[in-house]
Chain A
Amino acid sequence: MGEERAYWNAIEKLPRTELEELKLKRLRAIVRYAYYNSPFYHRWFEEAGVKPDDIRSFKDLERIPVFRKDDIRAERDKTGDPFAGLLCVPLDEVLLINPSTGTTGIPTFVTYAETELKICAEMMCRHFWMTDARPGDKALTIQLNWHWLGPPSITAYRRLGMHLLVDFVHPITAERYVWLAGFKPDFMFMDQPLLMAIRDEIREHTGKEPHELYGGVRNLVCAGESFPPKFKEHLMQEFGITGGVYDLYGCSESHIVAVECSEHNGNHFWEDMFHVEILDPDSGEVIPPDSGESGEVVVTNLFARDMPFIRYGTEDVAYLETERCGCGRTHARLIPRDRISWRIKISGKEIYPIDVRRIVEEFPETVEGAFTIRKYAEEMPKLKIDMRHEPWVRPEDEEALARRICERIKEKLGVEAEIRWVSFSGLPVIFHKIERVLDETKR
């Protein structure tokens, strides 16, 4: 036996200068390809007065305007083309058509042709290997049939030689996981809110603690939303996870996936396949990486010949860091924060739910951070939060706890807050994700 391989693919530690060179070459090729093959990009570039040959550097890319989901929907309504002119190959070559989750409106469609599926699966292999998934491991995963992450991740499990158990994905079916604990998985990949539902089911149905059933799971990859460090520790304790908990960020458009490595200092994405920019959500200016400022994640997909995404605005907010990671990988890291639509204004201050979550999780009573902010006006004088606490909190302590949390919020964020205690079912949940900001102004 040789030495254990540290990386799935040697390209993960390609020196940055070479990586940049490779990226630029691929970028220029995909821009040209999109211009000549996609009606949407042709028009989009023309309207901006850009020709493919004008794009010679990453700086030049800024001449192409960013487009977002609403642009896709508008184009689709105008032309009647389900792919809004983004599809560059005959539909015959497409293996799978997947809808987006539709949490923000009418679902858009993304595709996998054979090559793209292979590349996405290869990237998932790198991610899974990075999270310490190994041949022979038993993996328990959840999936919705139509979810775009399913095909590449299942293919990746197969390539890694893992043994898979797939199950259904709804919090009210969480009791199935009491049932399936006998599988004794080494590796789990699921959404973080679902894990909470599973924990509750295990307690309710068996009177046992989750770690008594699931203890011994080595690695947990969690998707759904970004989460702060205290909660990660909490998860590890609750489920008896011996290795690590890794956050996964993904966006169906462009198929970008970013996952934490063992250093847990941001989510790596593969720069030979993606170019990511961070945009100031207000001015639209590009924020340079490593500047310590967060902004909208704008993705350019460098490999997809079926459906390229060039400067796609994900409407997610993150930091971008390109400094070499302690794990030895040279590829950049995203540190996800939240969605732009969840940005709220309280007495002149801009706040994201993750800011609140970082404070809330410091209290053991509310470590899981199950809360929703009620947005009752564009400019609010006071933060109103619906929150659930751990089951062991006594009713008579609720008021004092709320007061302590509000004081801490005042201290850290400088805003007034008000907490209302609710049960989990009192929180708005879309496809097992808690809607962090409940927009009451739209009612």
Chain B
Amino acid sequence: MIMGLVFNPKVELMPKEELRKLQERRLRAQLRRVYEHSTFHRQRFKDAGVTPEEIRSIEDLRKLPLVTREDLQRAVKDSGDFYGGRLCVPADRLILTISPPEWPFTPLEDVPVVTALTVADQKEVVELLTRIWVMEGVSPKDLVQLQCWGWEPFGFAFSFPSHTFGLASVGGVLGCRIIPQELFVPDVPRTIHMGRFFKPDVLFTTETALATLESYLTPVREGEKVTVEVAVSETTSFKVVKEEEFSPRSIGYRIIVLRAPLYELSYVDEEKRNRIKEVWGVENVFTLLDIQDNLFYASDCAEHCGLHVWEDAFVVEVVDESGECVSAGERGDLVITNIFAEATPIIRYKTGIAASFEDERCGCGRTHRRIFLHL
């Protein structure tokens, strides 16, 4: 039984055995590639006393050490290279470099850990994200309001249909129309302003941004009318909602997706979901985990039992405190290996996110591994 639409049924519903073979084939190719082209990766293989040929299966991958964010930073610092020696393609093949996922207003880490993309990387990420959008029920011709920071490629590179010129984007593939918005607080009234005019079907946002939107739209006392005002300077301000009967339901979203980027991890459990459904009057609410340094995105389906990982693109493990892999259902630290990216893939990236995984086929029919966040 297959629930809902599936963007790439051949891969998403692929039998487990076949999927495993595909994953291992891509893993082996990836390891050969990073070993050959990147000083950073080669050194790690050497430190562990392994060669790429010795890693044939997913289990063999455990021979390689875990990589933390601190390791990546140290590599940048020590090498003096902007990419920390992680670049696996000639620099002239890069089309995009992404700055690190940091909350823009907090003190920064000493060294930035950046991620780069080639044309092929972008295409692959868009394919993976399109699967997610379709899984969440986004349909062609939907009007999508998309809140994210200007530097997040989730917005400008992967979603806006402005890249139909030889480069894919989710909006372009699905034929969605996009209303871009910023995430910072002064832009909340703007989001409301555009929301009330265009009645978007889908909202991509984060948990705190949604809470801020809600606080603007909920009257101080019940029964009171709502005013939303934006001050653009000391002398100029305007009201986008003037003394009106207005509530979050008035905008009429169908789907809300809460992005969970590294600077703001969150997870929509059943209680939260029911509350958001009630307040906003939406059909469904999803979590979209966004680990952009490894180009990793994962989301739940309408069954809401875990976030689907795309195993043809990633190897996802969960490790305990000693760094040993744990089995299904046990908690530990989420470890992600990117097996598709050409430019700056990270192998065995220890994310610091508490998680567990499940391998059973999901009620939606997808066969890929699902992860559960324990935040």
Interface residues of A (CB under 8 A from B): 82, 91-92, 94-99, 102-107, 109, 112, 114, 117-118, 121, 136, 142-146, 150-152, 154-155, 158-159, 163-170, 172-173, 175-176, 179-180, 182-184, 428, 430-431, 435, 438-440, 442-443
Contact = CB atoms under 8 A, between A and B. Distances in A.
B58 interface: no
Contacts of A146: 179-182, 187, 190
Nearest to B171: A95
| Shortest beta-carbon contacts, A-B, top 4 | A151-B162, A82-B197, A182-B82, A145-B180
B198 A167 contact: no
Interface string B65-96: 00000000000100000100000000110111
B190 A107 contact: yes
Contacts, number: 165
B161 interface: yes
A117 B172 CA distance: 13
Q: Dominant SS at the A interface?
A: mixed
A367 B31 CA distance: 54
A155 B162 contact: yes
B151 A97 contact: no
Contacts of A96: 160-162, 177-180
B150 A142 contact: yes
B198 A97 contact: yes
A82 B198 contact: yes
B223 interface: no
A146 B233 CA distance: 19
Interface of B: 76, 82, 91-92, 94-99, 102, 104-105, 108, 111-112, 114, 141, 143, 146, 148-151, 153, 155-157, 160-167, 171, 177-182, 184, 187, 190, 193-194, 197-198, 230, 232-236, 238, 240
The listed residue with most A CB atoms (<10 A of its CB), out of B95, B111, B141, B232, is B232
A95 B163 CA distance: 11
A175 B104 CA distance: 10
B163 A155 contact: yes
Contacts of B162: 95-96, 112, 117, 121, 150-152, 154-155
A105 B235 CA distance: 11
B163 A109 contact: no
A169 B187 CA distance: 13
Contacts of B234: 428, 438
B139 to A, nearest CB: 13
A431 B193 CA distance: 18
Contact of B178 (A95, A173, A443): A95
Contact of B104 (A154, A164, A170, A428): A170
9 contacts: A95-B160, A103-B233, A105-B238, A106-B193, A112-B162, A150-B162, A151-B156, A163-B94, A164-B96
A172 to B, nearest CB: 7
Contacts of A92: 141, 177
Nearest to B194: A99
Given A163-B95, A166-B156, A439 B161 contact: no
Contact of A176 (B104, B153, B166, B235): B104
B235 A438 contact: yes
Contacts of B238: 102, 105-106
A170 B198 CA distance: 28
Contacts of A114: 161, 164
Contacts of A159: 165
A109 B190 contact: no
Contacts of B76: 182
Given A99-B193, A158-B95, A145 B182 contact: yes
A151 B167 CA distance: 13
Given A94-B177, A158-B163, A438-B234, A144 B150 contact: yes
A271 B89 CA distance: 41
A183 B232 CA distance: 33
B78 to A, nearest CB: 14
A430 B180 contact: no
Contact of B167 (A103, A158, A428): A158
Given A95-B177, A158-B95, A428-B234, A118 B104 contact: no
Given A145-B156, A158-B167, A163 B97 contact: yes
Contact of B179 (A97, A117, A176, A183): A97
B60 to A, nearest CB: 35
Contact of B184 (A82, A91, A170): A170
Contacts of A145: 146, 148-150, 155-156, 180-182
Contacts of A97: 177-179, 194, 198
Given A97-B179, A180-B112, A102 B230 contact: yes
Contacts of B166: 158
Nearest to A142: B150
Contacts of B235: 428, 438-440, 442-443
Contacts of B194: 97, 99, 109
Contact of B232 (A103, A109, A179): A103
A92 B201 CA distance: 13
A159 B165 CA distance: 8
A164 to B, nearest CB: 5
A143 B150 contact: yes
B163 to A, nearest CB: 7
A91 B177 contact: yes
A95 B193 CA distance: 19
A164 B180 contact: no
A82 B194 CA distance: 9
A272 B76 CA distance: 48
The listed residue with most A CB atoms (<10 A of its CB), out of B162, B230, B235, is B162
A443 B232 CA distance: 14
Contacts of A142: 150
Given A146-B180, A183-B82, A121 B165 contact: yes
Contacts of A172: 105
A119 to B, nearest CB: 12
Contacts of B112: 179-180, 182
Given A145-B155, A155-B162, A183-B82, A169 B177 contact: no
Contacts of B187: 146
A443 B171 CA distance: 44
Nearest to B80: A182
A421 to B, nearest CB: 19
B110 to A, nearest CB: 9
Given A145-B148, A168-B150, A175-B108, A158 B165 contact: yes
Contacts of B230: 102
A98 B151 contact: no
Nearest to B166: A158
Contacts of A104: 236
A183 B112 CA distance: 10
Nearest to B109: A179
B236 A105 contact: yes
Given A95-B178, A96-B180, A428-B234, A166 B150 contact: yes
